[in-house]
Amino acid sequence: MTLLLSADETGIARAAALLLAGELVAFGTETVYGLGADATNERAVASIFAAKGRPHFNPLICHYPNAAAAFRHVDANEHARHLAAAFWPGALTMVLPRHIACPVSLLAGAGLETLAVRVPANATAQALLRAVGRPVAAPSANRSGQVSPSTAEHVMEELGGRIAAIVDSGPCPIGVESTVLDLTSPHPVLLRPGGVTAEAIEALVGPIGRPIPHAVAEAARGLRSPGLLVSHYAPNLPVRLDAREVELNEALLAFGQPLPGAGCVFNLSESRDLTEAAARLFAGLRWLDREAQNLGLRDIAAMPVPDTGLGLAINDRLQRAAAPRSS
């Protein structure tokens, strides 16, 4: 059962309590409805991907009530501060380096060293973020492959029964997603056009880079997934997929009962729970990569994970990690 909460004090307090308990709550922003989870809770973040039926782990935007809160979790540069002063709260998302002590779930950032942060303007979103007191990770509140919802009814049609609650703050005034700007290099790059125009950004920081032409061409053909524009985290050690046995000079990424004989082991989920496995995936790859290199092991052998539910996204990520590298 999905609760439909009104955007008043009682509804917001209820929504905040659910988020802090690790539940999923959709809420309106000025752009589209977001599907929110406590961004510091790996398991809650994993359940976002399960509810959306996403076949891969795109990094998610983390929402904050103000720039000061956002800039405690990422390293803001001069461009970022200027843009925040001009466009926050508003429909601009900035990709910045994660702070060393950033408590946001690795899965929310898809294992990257960067994090996408935004301060929404919508009064309900603001009240909710202040009540939660933690960053809220939120992709658009639609099933994977469907259009982004701009009313609570749309969210209910798509996700009713799969999430704890929806805070109904009426239709979203902008109705298109936020602009995503990569500020991790001295020359900002537009990753996704959206509610704040490129011209308005350029008036402040000078010329910005546009997405690479082949991605644009693919987008025009409808083939592009937003996640493909992002370079993904991969461990340094080679990954061997579909391991049925393992050797002493290999590290093991286990799922269920671990294969015997590995040099070191990280178990994604002893009980073969795919949500738990998703929540532990990036932390597990990082830990194994570090330990295995310290121990002088050859590679990471990954046990098979079923290709159902979140297993699809886990396998997509493992296949990327195992793909041949150019460098």
Q: What is the rounded distance in angstroms from the CA atom of residue 327 to the CA atom of residue 224?
A: 24
The residue (of 94 and 251) whose beta carbon lies closer to ligand AMP is 94
Choose the stretch contacting ligand AMP; rule: CB under 6 A; options: 112-120, 163-171, 238-246, 310-318.
112-120
Q: What is the rounded distance in angstroms from the CA atom of residue 154 to the CA atom of residue 270?
A: 37
Question: Binding of ligand AMP at residue 274 (CB under 6 A)?
Answer: no
Parallel, antiparallel or unpaired: strands 25-27 and 165-168: parallel
Options 41, 93, 140, 169; binder of Mg ion; rule CB under 5 A: 140
Question: Binding of ligand AMP at residue 115 (CB under 6 A)?
Answer: yes
Q: Which residue's structure tokens are 């929110």?
A: 36
Question: Binding of ligand AMP at residue 180 (CB under 6 A)?
Answer: yes
Q: What is the rounded distance in angstroms from the CA atom of residue 61 to the CA atom of residue 76?
A: 16
The residue (of 97 and 227) whose beta carbon lies closer to Mg ion is 227
Q: What is the 3-state secondary structure (H, E, C) of 136-203?
A: EECCECCCCCCCCCCCHHHHHHHHCCCCCEEEECCCCCCCCCCEEEECCCCCCEEEECCCCCHHHHHH
Contacts with 319 (C-beta within 8 Å, 6 or more apart), sequence order = 241
Q: If contact means CB under 5 to 8 A according to the sort of partner, which of ligand AMP, Mg ion, none does residue 61 touch?
A: ligand AMP
Tell me, residue by residue from 50 to 69, as one string, x for binding to ligand AMP by CB under 6 A and - for no binding. Answer: --------xxxx--------
CA dihedral for 229, 234, 240, 242, sign (positive or negative):
negative
Tell me, residue by residue from 5 to 24, as one string, x for binding to ligand AMP by CB under 6 A and - for no binding. Answer: --------------------
Cβ atoms of 200 and 95 within 8 Å: the answer is no
Options 55, 227, 238, 306; binder of ligand AMP; rule CB under 6 A: 227
Question: Binding of ligand AMP at residue 107 (CB under 6 A)?
Answer: no
Query: Minimum CB separation from Mg ion for residue 12, in Å?
Result: 24
Query: Minimum CB separation from Mg ion for residue 186, in Å?
Result: 29
Contact residues toward ligand AMP (CB under 6 A) are 58-61, 95, 109, 112, 114-116, 139-140, 177, 180, 182, 191-192, 226-227, 229-230
